[in-house]
């Protein structure tokens, strides 16, 4: 198995436009990973799978990691000219916000060559509105359910996935529980009843009862407009 | 957003379709009636837990099948992030509640990789003994359940459970609990097995082969079992590799990939054993591979129980309280009875893992359920699901 640095250099040569960075791992496991840009992720994944020396035909693990915005405090030395003309060096603390991201991590192995792992990472631009990454399910089928789980629990939209739905939480669930800033609702089961379409139907069927109920229900949903009769 | 019905797995050619087997039924257009959608589960005895299969049927033939799960979801990974490293150890028992010993080992192995802990020789032997006992337990149960799914009501399952009870007795006398063992620790094990325990384990290992002989004499050559399972649910080796199927299911499709050989974690390189491979990749092969694996496990157990050295069972560098690994990450995996069970941990230097991920084998193995079931009858889908060997505690996490 070639070292990760060598693999990075080979990928940069093979894909000139791609941004491939080595993310080193300080722990004794020494499983370093390759951070690739989303635009080239699928090309690189296909190359890793089909390359004769690597043959990474088996994606063992695909998962998400949430990195929220973090505040970094750094001491910065600035020179201040005082009233008498002498310069003085003052150490000030500056705070800067390191923007967060959502990360998808793939652990790749080769069943044909019996080697691995190569750890592949792809990051979103931010955590709010630009959360789309390319799906690698067309490359490795084993990502199918695992990427659905990433979509479900982290809220990463994996473009190109054949069936991107929630998998562990129910379909009507809002929010993504594995994010670090997730706050669970006070009551999962609460639902204003009747509302929306149900309320409109109820009004048609029970005009007398709905007249008294509409006063409270009107807050939940606006009353549907009556169609003018011909 | 992609709608719920935009997924045509068999037709769109994005994935290689399962090889057609002898029993795959053709759908005749001239007899086309209305398609019927049947929801099997979540409370159905054949789904092995709270699992649902939404099958679309043409007559009795399955033309579409969607697995639905998550009924047992308790966000195990979030729990892991909110508790200490050691605090997650008892939770891993509850993933695949038949195989708590191997879950413990996989988690301990990942943390040992993260923190750079060594494991004493005796503890490695104990781990191998317990893992192989777990493999025996799991495969025995599976054979019983599979026959139950085939309609052999009661007797084969009770025979299997009788033997499983003997192994559980061993687990109980060692760890204090039958199923929720919570036995492994980072850098070793919790309790040192006594000489009496090792003798009891030797006795069980010695007699287990006889039980298998008896069981196989009753079952393996059984005409009904062969008729129901041969040629059913064929999984091609190409699809199995791409879909990340691991464990006996992968080897039944003829792919030689056993982590005990490939990674040679623990002391598996010291043991000589063979990896049984299937030729057809059908349900019968999956059953046979597991039966043969048990024979190999008995061989490993016999050697391990003979050679187990005296000595400490914990790494002296390991500390249970105030355990804070340095920042970094590690992915550790072992060959569990159901397939590759892996743990992915990211440490930020704190007492809790920053990210705690479980790669559950039955969750990934379920990916190909639809491919296996297409063209078969509803009754066959029950057997196919049984041969995948799922535990919902692990699928839903």
Residues of chain B found within 8 Å of residue A31, distances taken between Cβ atoms = 329-331
**Which of A155-159, B145-149, B327-331 is predicted least confidently?**
B145-149
pLDDT one-digit tens code per residue, B47-94 = 777 888 898 888 888 888 999 988 889 889 999 999 999 999 999 999
Phi then psi for residue B124, to 5 deg, are -65, -40
How distant is the Cα of B55 from the closest Cα of chain A, in angstroms? 17
Supply the DSSP string of B133-182, one letter for each residue: HHHHHHHHHHHHHHHHHHT--SHHHHHHHHHHHHHHHHHHHHHS-SS---
The per-residue pLDDT for B297 is 92
- Give the chain B residue whose CA is nearest to the CA of A59: B244
**Residue B249 · residue B389 · CB < 8 Å:** yes
Asked if the C-beta of A58 comes within 8 angstroms of chain B's C-beta atoms, the answer is yes
Going by pLDDT thresholds of 50, 70 and 90, the confidence category of residue B32 is low
Asked if the C-beta of A119 comes within 8 angstroms of chain B's C-beta atoms, the answer is yes
Is 60 exceeded by the pLDDT of residue B23? Answer: no
Instruction: Please check whether residue B5 lies inside any domain of the structure.
Output: no
Residue A111 has its nearest CB partner, among B14, B255, B344, at B255
Other beta carbons less than 10 A from residue A135's beta carbon: 25
Distance CA B32, CA B132 (A): 50
User: What total number of domains does chain A contain?
Assistant: 2
How distant is the Cα of A65 from the closest Cα of chain B, in angstroms? 7
Instruction: Please check whether residue B12 lies inside any domain of the structure.
Output: no
Residue A140, domain CATH:
3.30.460.80
Query: What angle do helix axes B195-219 and B283-307 make, rounded to 10 degrees?
Result: 160
The per-residue pLDDT for B245 is 92
3-class DSSP assignment, residue B13: coil
Is 90 exceeded by the pLDDT of residue B199? Answer: yes
Cβ pair A63:B329 closer than 8 A: no
**Residue B341 · residue B334 · CB < 8 Å:** yes
Rounded to an integer, the average pLDDT of B161-186 is: 91
Asked if the C-beta of A67 comes within 8 angstroms of chain B's C-beta atoms, the answer is no
Cβ pair A142:B12 closer than 8 A: no
Phi-psi region of B9 (alpha: psi -120 to 50; beta: other; left: phi over 0): alpha
Supply the DSSP string of B18-62, one letter for each residue: PPP-TTPPPPPGGG----EEEEE-SEEGGGTEE-EEEEEEETTEE
Cβ pair A29:B113 closer than 8 A: yes
The per-residue pLDDT for A190 is 46
Q: Which of B39, B44, B46, B33 is nearest to B65 (CA)?
A: B39
User: What is the spatial order of strands in the sheet that B36-40 belongs to?
Assistant: B36-40, B52-58, B61-68
Residues A116 and A41 in one domain: yes
How distant is the Cα of B137 from the closest Cα of chain A, in angstroms? 25
Instruction: Please check whether residue B138 lies inside any domain of the structure.
Output: yes
Cβ pair B242:A142 closer than 8 A: yes
Could you check whether the bond before residue A117 is cis, i.e. omega within 30 degrees of 0? yes
Higher pLDDT, B199 or A70: B199
Residues of chain A found within 8 Å of residue B330, distances taken between Cβ atoms = 25, 27-29, 31
Instruction: Please check whether residue B58 lies inside any domain of the structure.
Output: no
Question: What six digits make up the tokens of B289?
Answer: 């591979």
Mean pLDDT of chain B: 86
**Residue A11 · residue A18 · CB < 8 Å:** yes
Residues of chain B found within 8 Å of residue A170, distances taken between Cβ atoms = 70
Phi-psi region of A184 (alpha: psi -120 to 50; beta: other; left: phi over 0): beta
pLDDT one-digit tens code per residue, B379-388 = 888 899 888 8
Q: Which of B355, B360, B363, B393 is best to mutate for the A interface (most A CBs within 10 A)?
A: B355
Range of the domain at A200: 191-224
The per-residue pLDDT for B15 is 41
Asked if the C-beta of A188 comes within 8 angstroms of chain B's C-beta atoms, the answer is no
Cβ pair A161:B326 closer than 8 A: no
Q: Which of B331, B353, B396 is best to mutate for the A interface (most A CBs within 10 A)?
A: B331
Instruction: Please check whether residue A62 lies inside any domain of the structure.
Output: yes
Going by pLDDT thresholds of 50, 70 and 90, the confidence category of residue B8 is very low
The secondary structure element, H or E, covering residue B122 is helix B121-150
Residues of chain A found within 8 Å of residue B327, distances taken between Cβ atoms = 26-27
Distance CA B34, CA B84 (A): 55
Residues A123 and A205 in one domain: no
Share of chain B above pLDDT 70, in %: 92
Residue B114 has its nearest CB partner, among A29, A65, A168, at A29
Four-residue CA torsion sign, B36, B42, B45, B46: positive
Let me know how long chain A is.
230
User: What total number of domains does chain B contain?
Assistant: 1
pLDDT one-digit tens code per residue, B214-273 = 888 888 888 888 888 888 888 888 899 999 999 999 999 989 899 998 888 888 988 888
Distance CA B105, CA B131 (A): 8
How distant is the Cα of B211 from the closest Cα of chain A, in angstroms? 34
Non-local CB neighbours of A230 within 8 Å, separated by 6+ positions: none
Cβ pair B355:A57 closer than 8 A: no
Rounded to an integer, the average pLDDT of B334-338 is: 91
Instruction: Please check whether residue A124 lies inside any domain of the structure.
Output: yes
Cβ pair A107:B6 closer than 8 A: no
pLDDT one digit per residue (tens) for chain A, 230 residues: 788 888 888 888 888 888 888 888 888 888 888 999 999 899 999 999 888 888 899 999 999 999 888 877 777 777 777 777 777 777 777 787 888 889 999 999 999 888 878 999 999 988 888 889 999 999 999 999 999 999 999 999 999 899 898 899 888 888 888 988 887 765 454 445 666 666 676 677 667 665 555 544 444 444 444 555 54
Residue B357 has its nearest CB partner, among A63, A114, A145, at A63
**Which of B6-10, B31-35, B72-76, B381-385 is predicted least confidently?**
B6-10
How distant is the Cα of A193 from the closest Cα of chain B, in angstroms? 24
Instruction: Please check whether residue B64 lies inside any domain of the structure.
Output: no
**Which of A213-222, B7-16, B126-135, B307-316 is predicted least confidently?**
B7-16
Range of the domain at B380: 76-396
Residues A108 and A47 in one domain: yes
Residues A213 and A110 in one domain: no
Phi then psi for residue B139, to 5 deg, are -70, -35
Q: Which of A34, A35, A137, A145 is best to mutate for the B interface (most B CBs within 10 A)?
A: A145
Residues of chain A found within 8 Å of residue B245, distances taken between Cβ atoms = 142
- Cα R_g (chain B), whole angstroms: 22
**Residue B292 · residue B133 · CB < 8 Å:** no
Instruction: Please check whether residue A24 lies inside any domain of the structure.
Output: yes
Residue B199, domain CATH:
1.10.645.10
What dihedral do alpha carbons A143, A149, A150, A154 form, nearest 10°?
180
Count residue pairs from A and B with Cβ separation < 8 A: 127
Phi then psi for residue B332, to 5 deg, are -115, 140
Cβ pair A142:B344 closer than 8 A: no
Residue A162 has its nearest CB partner, among B7, B78, B327, at B7
Residue A61 has its nearest CB partner, among B243, B342, B397, at B342
Instruction: Please check whether residue A45 lies inside any domain of the structure.
Output: yes
């Amino acid at each position: 198995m070639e070292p990760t640095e060598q693999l990075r250099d080979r990928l940069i040569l093979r894909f000139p436009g791609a941004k491939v960075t080595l993310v080193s791992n300080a722990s004794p496991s020494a499983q370093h990973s390759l951070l690739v840009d989303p635009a080239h992720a699928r090309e690189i994944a296909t190359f890793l799978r089909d390359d004769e020396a690597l043959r990474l035909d088996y994606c063992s693990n695909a998962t998400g990691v949430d990195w929220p915005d973090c505040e970094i405090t750094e001491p910065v030395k600035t020179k201040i000219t005082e009233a008498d003309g002498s310069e003085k060096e003052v150490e000030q603390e500056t705070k800067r916000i390191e923007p967060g991201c959502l990360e998808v991590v793939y652990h790749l192995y080769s069943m044909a060559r019996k080697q691995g792992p190569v750890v592949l990472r792809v990051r979103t631009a931010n955590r709010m509105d630009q959360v789309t990454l390319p799906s690698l399910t067309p490359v490795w089928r084993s990502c199918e359910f695992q990427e659905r789980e990433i979509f479900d629990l982290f809220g990463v939209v994996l473009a190109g996935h054949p069936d991107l739905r929630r998998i562990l939480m129910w379909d009507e669930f809002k929010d993504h529980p594995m994010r670090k800033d997730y706050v669970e609702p006070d009551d999962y089961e609460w639902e204003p009843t009747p509302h929306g379409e149900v309320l409109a139907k109820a009004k048609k069927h029970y005009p007398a009862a709905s007249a008294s109920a509409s006063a409270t229900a009107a807050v939940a949903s606006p009353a549907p407009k009556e169609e003018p009769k011909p | 957003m992609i709608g719920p019905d935009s997924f045509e797995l068999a037709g769109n050619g994005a994935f290689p379709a399962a090889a057609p087997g002898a029993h795959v039924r053709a759908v005749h257009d001239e007899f086309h009636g209305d398609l019927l959608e049947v929801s099997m589960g979540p409370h159905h005895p054949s789904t092995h837990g709270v699992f649902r299969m939404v099958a679309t049927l043409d007559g009795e033939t399955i033309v579409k099948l969607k697995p639905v799960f998550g009924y047992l979801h308790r966000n195990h990974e979030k729990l892991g992030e909110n508790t200490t490293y050691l605090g997650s150890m008892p939770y891993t028992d509850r993933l695949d509640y038949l195989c708590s010993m191997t879950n413990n080992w996989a988690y301990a192995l990942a943390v040992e990789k993260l923190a750079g802990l060594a494991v004493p020789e005796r503890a490695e032997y104990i781990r191998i003994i317990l893992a192989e006992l777990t493999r025996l337990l799991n495969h025995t149960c599976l054979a019983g359940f599979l026959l139950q799914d085939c309609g052999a009501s009661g007797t084969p399952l009770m025979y299997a459970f009788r033997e499983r009870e003997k192994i559980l007795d061993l687990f109980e006398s060692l760890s204090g609990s039958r199923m929720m063992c919570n036995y492994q620790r980072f850098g070793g094990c919790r309790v040192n097995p006594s000489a009496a325990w090792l003798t009891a384990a030797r006795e069980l290992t010695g007699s287990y082969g006889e039980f298998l002989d008896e069981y196989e004499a009753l079952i393996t050559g059984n005409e009904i079992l062969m008729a129901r399972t041969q040629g059913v649910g064929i999984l091609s080796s190409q699809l199995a590799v791409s879909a990340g199927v691991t464990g006996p299911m992968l080897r039944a499709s003829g792919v030689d990939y056993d982590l005990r050989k490939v990674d040679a974690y623990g002391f598996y390189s010291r043991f000589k054993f063979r990896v049984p491979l299937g030729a057809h990749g059908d349900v019968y092969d999956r059953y046979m591979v597991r039966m043969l694996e048990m024979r190999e496990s008995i061989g490993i157990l016999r050697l391990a129980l003979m050679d187990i050295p005296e000595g400490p069972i914990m790494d002296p560098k390991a500390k249970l309280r105030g355990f804070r690994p340095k920042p970094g990450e590690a992915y550790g995996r072992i060959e569990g009875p159901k397939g590759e069970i892996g743990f992915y941990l990211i440490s930020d230097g704190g007492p809790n893992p920053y990210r705690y991920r479980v790669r559950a084998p039955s969750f990934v193995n379920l990916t190909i359920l639809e491919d296996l079931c297409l063209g078969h009858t509803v009754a066959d889908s029950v057997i196919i699901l049984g041969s995948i060997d799922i535990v919902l505690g692990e699928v839903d996490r």
